[in-house]
Amino acid sequence: MTSIEYASGELAELLKKADVDYMEARLEESQSSHITYRGQELESIGRTTAVGGNVRALVKGGWGFFSFNSFEELADKVDRAIKQARLVGSQKSRLAPVNATVDSVPWEGARNPVTIPLAEKKQLLDEYNEIIGRTAGIQTSTIGYTDSHKKTVFLSSAGSFIEQERADVALRLAAIAARDGEVQQVGLSLGSLGDFNAIQHLHGQVAEMARRSVVLLSAPQVAGGEYTVVLDPVLAGVFVHEAFGHLSESDFVYENAQLRNIMTLGKQFGGAHLNIVDSAAMPRLRGSYRYDDEGVPATKTYLIREGKLVGRLHSRETAARMKEPPTGNARAVSYRHPPIVRMSNTYIEPGDVSFEDMIADIKEGIYAKNWYGGTTSMEMFTFSAGEAYMIRNGKIAETLRPVVLTGNVFTTLQNIDAIGNDLEMNQGGGCGKGAQSPLPVANGSPHIRIRHCLIGGK
């Protein structure tokens, strides 16, 4: 028996006896490895093992949370969480009901990525790094690879006992070109739910990435202002995550009367062609899981259907307070944090417009591709493209320096006037919220066209 199995047995007894409205515990055991390069030299290679857990108590609407690495004196830890919850609680506890569940969800992959020999991982990364290094005009490169395998035990005072395993692989490469004091970079991010194959055979893409970073040194910067913008599936996926996904997280909405009013179900947010979904129930993506970190089964949730707001993402508490069904979206990056409302796999459903038709009638616009970053303040969002081109008279024209796009979610969703037929899911991103980052998620979309999008520039 491993240490978390021992501890979970002891905790199950303690939770049963706890004098609280509700209590849960989460124990984790994980292994991971990482390899990073800077330039041609391997910078860091390491292995990590971690064991830890937490207990969370709910008393009169107030939460107490205690996390730890040591499994000694578990009764004291349970007590401490209960005392904290009592100090906080002053209302009525409300949680959406879920069935007590006893289940075990083993990891389904063929090969645990952490146990793949380091020599094999290093060999692959060496190949990629060599491709970047021998590209003319390249100054240097950075590569970051991480993998992990995690076993989690979730137990609750209601009698749930859920064991789950998951694995994760993430790779980010960047080629950096420099000339005359100018520096430009192009990156590539990939990930998978523990499938190492997902980051193999990228030699062609890596070469193309390196070549593009050199091209950027002589590319012009776009003039700032409003443009018609076409986003590729990767960037449109980041857009839907930042611009709308975060706004669908109910923890920001449920106590805010004004916002609840804006986010009334049934309200029109976009054209009838717009459908937005979050689904942890999709198989084998980085944001996929069977149960969330409150033991709620994963669901497919329509957020927008035919342009209308029809749903949002919930924890058990936000669901109860908004009198809506729980969606299984309470997630924590690790045992050090309580679960909060998060996305899983978020995407725009495909429409029927071809890419050629989408750009055909654009006189002057921007084609923005590839992910560099994104953030949101709920109303306003910004996200940056790794690649950008002018569109002139219906044709892709000159390469531009990377662009940053910004907008107001409420008007921008209305300004989407074409949705492509080529949905792709991207798994290269990690999501940050509060102190919890990076959480594995997937985003996706077909090509989309947005009118009147604000672009930063000279």
Partner 1 sequence: MENILAHAQKVAEDAEVFVVTAEETEVHFEANRLKQLQSRQQTSVALRIIKGGRLGYATTTSLDRVNEIVDDAVETARFGMTARFRLPAPSSYPEVAIVDTSVASVPTETMIGLGEEMIGPVTTHTPGIICEADISKGTISVRILNSRGGQAGYQKSFFSLGIEGNLTQDTDMLFVGEMESSCHPVTDTRPVTDAVLQQLELAKHRASVPGKSLPVVFTPNGVASAILAPLMAAFNGRTVLQGASPIGDKLGRPVFDTKLSLWDDPTVAYRPGSRPCDDEGTPSQRTPLVERGTVAHFLYDLQTAALAGTSSTGNGSRGHGGLPAPAPTAFTIAPGSTTFAEMIQDMKEGLVIEQLMGASQSNVLGGEFSGNVLLGFKVENGTIVGRVKDTMVSGNIYQMMKQIAGLSREVKWVGGFLQTPYLYFPGVAVASKT
Amino acid at 204: G
Q: Is 402 in the site for partner 1 (CB under 8 A)?
A: yes
In 3D, which of 161, 158, 194 has the Cα closest to residue 27?
161
Considering the complex, state which of residue 35 and residue 358 has its C-beta at the smaller distance from partner 1. Answer: 35
Q: Is 457 in the site for partner 1 (CB under 8 A)?
A: yes
Using CB under 8 A as the criterion, what x/- string covers residues 241-280 for binding partner 1?
----------x---xx-xx--x------------------
Q: Is 90 in the site for partner 1 (CB under 8 A)?
A: yes
Out of 8, 27, 68, 313, the residue judged to bind partner 1 by CB under 8 A: 68
Using CB under 8 A as the criterion, what x/- string covers residues 93-132 for binding partner 1?
-------------------------xx--x----------
Q: How far is CA 411 from CA 239, 330, 340, 344, in A?
A: 13, 29, 28, 25
Considering the complex, state which of residue 122 and residue 290 has its C-beta at the smaller distance from partner 1. Answer: 122
Considering the complex, state which of residue 84 and residue 248 has its C-beta at the smaller distance from partner 1. Answer: 84
Spatial distance between the Cα atoms of 331 and 26, rounded to a whole number of angstroms: 12
CA angle 91, 326, 378 (to 5 degrees): 85
Using CB under 8 A as the criterion, what x/- string covers residues 32-61 for binding partner 1?
--xxx-xx-xxxxxxxxxxxx---------
- Chain positions 363 to 392 lying near partner 1, rule: CB under 8 A, are 372-375, 377-384
Place of tokens 């809506």: 324
Q: Are 243 and 231 spatial neighbours (Cβ–Cβ below 8 Å)?
A: no
Considering the complex, state which of residue 113 and residue 297 has its C-beta at the smaller distance from partner 1. Answer: 113
Out of 199, 235, 236, 404, the residue judged to bind partner 1 by CB under 8 A: 404
Considering the complex, state which of residue 59 and residue 353 has its C-beta at the smaller distance from partner 1. Answer: 59
Amino acid at 120: E
CA angle 24, 25, 31 (to 5 degrees): 150
Q: Is 137 in the site for partner 1 (CB under 8 A)?
A: no
Spatial distance between the Cα atoms of 283 and 281, rounded to a whole number of angstroms: 6
Out of 5, 16, 69, 200, the residue judged to bind partner 1 by CB under 8 A: 69
Q: Are 305 and 266 spatial neighbours (Cβ–Cβ below 8 Å)?
A: no
**414: enclosing H helix or E strand:** helix 409-414
- Chain positions 167 to 226 lying near partner 1, rule: CB under 8 A, are 176, 178, 181-185, 224-226
Spatial distance between the Cα atoms of 74 and 334, rounded to a whole number of angstroms: 19
SS3 at position 363: coil
